[in-house]
């Protein structure tokens, strides 16, 4: 099996030669691995390491643009300004003042100058990348969000109050966010044809200990919108890859009912996300992606610790020899030892799936 065949075998619940192993990693970790292996390109690194990479395919909708006011500030397509921030050995972009702060009524949204035009986006480079890798790797993209975009536009503190105090505003903003990205996805699918396999929907619904808001609030603002996206994506012959960090256990049944196919990143250190429970409750209804603990074991454990963690995830999330794509639970962070990354990958390569008895 090549990487593409192996991932699709998991997605379709077919027999495997071994479980797929994907890598999510920061630029700093990517560089350390490329230096270690002497890889000239990122794709060559995945080939050298035997990674079943789900290759990100995005388009110009996701580019950052220099701010007219300050060269150190970047602006995304929604008009959200960001500044690079150093976090130890890593660099991240942090959102600055939310641009929809002050737009407090549905009617005021007509005056916001930065609603993006999905018909003005260049989709050709994304289509070329999708064609290039499609026979060898599974393709994943574009990246779309609902409440994450809302939080960028309004700010997290405002967003948490808005769902309680200004529901009409929440619906009005989300209507625009949904419609713009729906059009963007349709355009991208038209350009890429059958060379996109999964669409990445990212909406972090939980913190380290609990959901950000109640499941009833999720039903009110997000259930129908996510269902429409899943139906549209499935209608194009693609699958839905859904990302939410944290203690999201209470919302998983709703995500599955809405139509997601793959759940990521399985942050099992959080309450309600225990791997045995997830497999027992949802293992026949959704494919798990992630799981390898990324706050303690991967960055600070020994290679033996990482190998043991990986075997535990294989035996639980991958129980019955199906339904699991191995990966860290979110990006492998800067400073993580190369030996620990290698231990995760080699453990998967040396593991033979044990099929459940009929």
Q: What is the DSSP string of 17-68?
A: SS--B---B-HHHHHHHHHHHT-SSHHHHHHHHT---EEE---GGG--EE-S
Q: Could you give the count of Cα atoms lying within 13 Å of 169 in the half-sphere of its Cβ?
A: 21
pLDDT of residue 84: 85
Residue 352 sits at φ, ψ, to 5 deg, of -105, 120
Average pLDDT on 27-56 reads 97
Which tens digits make up the pLDDT trace of 124-143?
999 999 999 999 999 999 99
Q: Is the pLDDT of residue 358 over 70?
A: no
Is residue 321 within 8 A of residue 356, CB to CB? The reply is yes
Average pLDDT on 32-45 reads 98
Give the count of beta carbons closer than 10 Å to the beta carbon of residue 238: 20
pLDDT of residue 357: 61
Strand order in the sheet with 262-264: 54-56, 138-144, 198-202, 239-243, 262-264, 287-292, 324-328
Q: How many residues can be counted in the chain? A: 358
Is residue 153 within 8 A of residue 100, CB to CB? The reply is yes
Q: Is the pTM of this model over 0.95?
A: yes
Report the distance separating Cα 149 and Cα 52, nearest Å. Answer: 29
Per-residue pLDDT band for 342 (boundaries 50, 70, 90) equals: very high
Give the count of beta carbons closer than 10 Å to the beta carbon of residue 335: 14
Q: Is the pLDDT of residue 334 over 80?
A: yes
| Percentage of residues of the chain with pLDDT beyond 90 | 93
Which tens digits make up the pLDDT trace of 225-234?
999 999 999 9
Average pLDDT on 298-325 reads 98
Report the distance separating Cα 269 and Cα 209, nearest Å. Answer: 10
**CATH number corresponding to 3-349:** 3.20.20.210
Per-residue pLDDT band for 90 (boundaries 50, 70, 90) equals: confident
């Amino acid at each position: 099996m090549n990487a593409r065949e192996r991932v699709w075998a998991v997605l379709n619940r077919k027999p495997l030669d071994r479980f797929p192993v994907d890598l999510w990693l920061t630029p700093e970790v990517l560089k350390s691995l490329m230096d270690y292996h002497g890889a000239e390109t990122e794709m060559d690194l995945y080939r050298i390491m035997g990674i079943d990479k789900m290759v990100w395919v995005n388009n110009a909708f996701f580019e950052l643009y220099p701010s007219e006011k300050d060269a150190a500030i970047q602006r995304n397509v929604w008009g959200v300004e960001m500044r690079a921030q150093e976090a130890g050995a890593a660099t991240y972009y942090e959102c600055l003042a939310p641009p929809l702060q002050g737009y407090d009524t549905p009617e005021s949204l007509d005056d916001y100058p930065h609603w993006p035009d999905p018909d003005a986006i260049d989709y050709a480079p994304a289509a070329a990348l999708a064609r290039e890798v499609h026979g060898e790797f599974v393709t994943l993209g574009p990246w779309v969000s609902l409440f994450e975009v809302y939080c960028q536009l309004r700010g997290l503190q405002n967003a948490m109050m808005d769902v309680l105090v200004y529901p009409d505003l929440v619906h009005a903003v989300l209507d625009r966010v949904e419609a713009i990205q729906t059009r963007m996805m349709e355009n991208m699918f038209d350009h890429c044809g059958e060379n996109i396999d999964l669409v990445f929907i990212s909406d972090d619904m939980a913190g380290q200990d609990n959901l950000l808001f109640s499941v009833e609030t999720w039903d009110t603002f997000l259930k129908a919108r996510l269902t429409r996206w899943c139906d549209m994506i499935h209608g194009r012959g693609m699958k839905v890859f859904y990302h939410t960090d944290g203690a999201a256990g209470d919302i998983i049944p709703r995500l599955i009912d809405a139509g997601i196919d793959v759940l990521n990143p399985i942050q099992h250190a959080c309450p309600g996300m225990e791997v045995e429970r997830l497999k027992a409750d949802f293992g026949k209804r959704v494919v798990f992606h992630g799981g390898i603990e990324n706050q303690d074991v991967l960055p600070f454990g020994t290679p033996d610790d990482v190998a043991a963690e990986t075997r535990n995830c294989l035996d639980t999330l991958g129980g019955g020899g199906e339904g699991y794509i191995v990966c860290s639970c979110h990006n492998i962070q800067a400073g993580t030892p190369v030996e620990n990354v290698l231990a995760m990958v080699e453990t998967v390569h040396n593991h033979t799936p044990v099929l459940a008895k009929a």
